[in-house]
Amino acid sequence: MTQNKILYFFFAFTFLATSLFAQQIRLNEAPEDLQLYARDTSNTAEVAVSGEVKGEPDFKAFTLKVFKDNALYDTKSDTLKNKKFSVSSTIKAGLHAYRFEFYINKKGIDSLYFKADDVVCGDAYIITGQSNSHPSSSASTYSNPYCRSFGVKTGYKAYNDKEKKVRWGMATGNLEGLEGVGGWFKINPFGVGVWGMELMKLIVEKHQIPVCIINGGSGSSSIEQNMLYPEKPSLETSFGRLAYRVDQAGLKDKIKAIFWHQGESNAATIEGYQSYATNFDTLLQDWKRVYTNLEKVYLFQLHPGCGRNPISYLSEMREVQNQIDQKYDMVNIMSTLGVTGHDGCHFAYEGYLEFAQRIYPLVARDYYNEKPSFTITPPKLLEANYESSKRMVLHFDQPILLEEESTVDGVVHYLKDQFFASEDSNTKQINLEVNKIKVEGNSLILTLKKASNYKYITYLPSKFYVGTRDIYNGPWLSGSENNIGALSFDRRPITQLKN
């Protein structure tokens, strides 16, 4: 336990003992109001109280009483040993509130020294990235006593002494004073974002397990701004501020998964996207080193958009994200394509709810023993090949659904026009001239207007509809079982006809 946390316990608990006792007793470890303890594989957590007495003790015995939903649950008594005390109790995960009361016995009389209310046992997660990782909304009014967070999401701002005093609280997807969706650069105590809050709601209500999410997102941040820099003071970096909060919460070795939505900023330059895979490798290794029991990273593939600059490498960035998913077993990718309410960079409140609804089945499968009855992952391209010089077939890992056309801002756009091809991986891509498009099970069949022998194929423009400055927003390919947008891909090789 850190020195700051020890000092917090010393000053912040509601001490009901005399001032003499407050001067004598030093707590090293103890629960706090609203704290979430992460459950272990036995579905429980150990809660410890320990400390020492400075000077000559005027008591020998102590007692810890634990109440579960206001009924006495456990009592532990012991005596000082070398002026030190230590006692613990095991609590169970579930929708139960525990209260801890620690008594010291002086001349046969028990005196309440401190208490901690509304302690729970459940699961802990991290959300981080850039703005789409932490959207707040005035429509996000849901609250639940079993949805917790810790500390202040400060974005780019380093922690001050006042913010360090903010400890445990009820998670929120809202932000004080906000109208609509936003809050990208605002300080927000206990803020987890709209989709973070919806994800918590789904877990708590469906599986009866308390959840803590700590959100460390920073609006417009690059991957570099989210990385660890050991040479810099911890609280001056986004990585350091997030790790500080997780550490202060006692959860550094208890985080199950990280949800990562980031990449728009790096897609603005060729250097940004080309260095992304290497930077992610470094970031992942630092995550695993700091959050020692990290099991999963859920990565969101980007939607076309963000910024009116015509230069963009979003298509290439989305392919880098595909490759990251393929490289690491612990990384699972989720599409944001086809999510409702995209405004060119961010999403409507309903769209962010859809983020949670898309990713929740993966979390439920991985951590809550749900056995899905349908495909819960986005469609992924397995291979592309020519069946004839004018017929190309794209094979996906699941049955797909075709949206042939979509009207966006009064203009009709066709899916057959959203495929691009090139003779090699470095030359500029051109529109693949498709005459007809259809689906057969897991396969998308493209009938071309003329014979060709392209070597590489791409699905979706980088940012804009071709020949416009209008950000792409459909039509889409999607999974026929789940309506999740198929992952876009960039410069995938096409198997050629055999001579």
pLDDT tens digits for 415-448? 999 999 998 877 889 999 999 999 999 999 999 9
Q: Are 93 and 122 in contact (CB under 8 A)?
A: yes
CATH of 121-367, picked from 3.40.50.1110, 3.30.1180.20, 3.30.420.10, 3.40.50.1000, is: 3.40.50.1110
Report the pLDDT averaged over residues 241-250: 98
Distance between CA 126 and CA 103 in Å, rounded?
A: 35
pLDDT attached to residue 189: 98
Distance between CA 268 and CA 310 in Å, rounded?
A: 9
DSSP assignment of 20-51 equals HHHHHEEEEE---TT-EEEP-TTSEEEEEEEE
Q: Is 60 exceeded by the pLDDT of residue 35? A: yes
Label residue 499 by pLDDT band (50, 70, 90): low
Name the percent of the chain lying above pLDDT 90.
Answer: 90
Distance between CA 418 and CA 446 in Å, rounded?
A: 11
- CATH level 3 topology of 381-495: Immunoglobulin-like (2.60.40)
Distance between CA 133 and CA 395 in Å, rounded?
A: 31
Name the percent of the chain lying above pLDDT 70.
Answer: 95
Buried b (16+ CB within 10 A) or exposed e, 4-22: ebeebbbeebebebeeebe
Q: In Å, how far from its chain's centre is CA 353?
A: 14
Report the pLDDT averaged over residues 410-419: 98
pLDDT attached to residue 307: 75
Report the pLDDT averaged over residues 3-7: 40
86 CB burial (10 A radius; 0-12, 13-18, 19+): middle
Q: Which residues fall within 8 angstroms of residue 185, CB to CB, at 6 or more apart?
A: 155, 156, 219
Distance between CA 9 and CA 491 in Å, rounded?
A: 56
Q: Which residues pair with 407 in a beta bridge?
A: 412
Compute the chain's Rg from CA coordinates. Answer: 27
Task: Find the range with the poorest average confidence among 153-162, 218-227, 335-344, 402-411.
Answer: 153-162
Q: In Å, how far from its chain's centre is CA 363?
A: 11
Q: Is 90 exceeded by the pLDDT of residue 9? A: no
Q: Are 357 and 206 in contact (CB under 8 A)?
A: no
Q: How far are the Cα atoms of 26, 53, 58, 62, 111 from residue 84, in angstroms, in the given order?
A: 9, 6, 13, 11, 18
Phi and psi at 68, nearest 5°, equal -110, 115
Query: What is the chain's length?
Result: 499
pLDDT attached to residue 15: 40
> Dihedral through CA 415, CA 130, CA 295, CA 204, nearest 10?
-90
Query: 3-state DSSP call for residue 131?
Result: helix
pLDDT attached to residue 24: 83
Q: What is the mean pLDDT of the chain?
A: 94
* pLDDT tens-digit series, residues 64-119: 999 999 999 999 999 999 999 999 999 999 999 999 999 999 989 999 999 999 99
Query: Where do the structural domains in the chain lie, given as residue ranges?
Result: 3-119, 121-367, 381-495
Report the pLDDT averaged over residues 8-23: 40
Tokens 């000559």 -> residue: 56
Is there a shared CATH topology between the 3-119 domain and the 381-495 domain?
yes
Cα end-to-end span (Å), the chain? 69
**44: closest CA among 83, 8, 92?**
92
* pLDDT tens-digit series, residues 354-390: 999 999 999 999 999 999 999 999 999 999 999 999 9
Task: Count the alpha carbons within 13 Å of 247 in the hemisphere toward its beta carbon.
Answer: 17
C-beta neighbour count of 290 within 10 angstroms: 18
Q: Are 203 and 123 in contact (CB under 8 A)?
A: yes
182 CB burial (10 A radius; 0-12, 13-18, 19+): middle
Read off the DSSP letter of residue 365: H
The amino acid that residue 156 corresponds to is Y
Query: 3-state DSSP call for residue 154?
Result: coil
Q: Are 99 and 119 in contact (CB under 8 A)?
A: yes
Q: Give the max Cα distance, the chain.
A: 98
Helices 276-290 and 314-327: crossing angle, nearest 10°?
40
Helices 194-207 and 349-367: crossing angle, nearest 10°?
40
Q: Looking at domain 3-119, what is its CATH homologous superfamily? A: Macroglobulin (MG2) domain (2.60.40.1930)
Residue 351 parent element (H or E): helix 349-367
Strands 36-38 and 44-53 turn out to be unpaired
* pLDDT tens-digit series, residues 248-283: 999 999 999 999 999 999 999 999 999 999 999 999
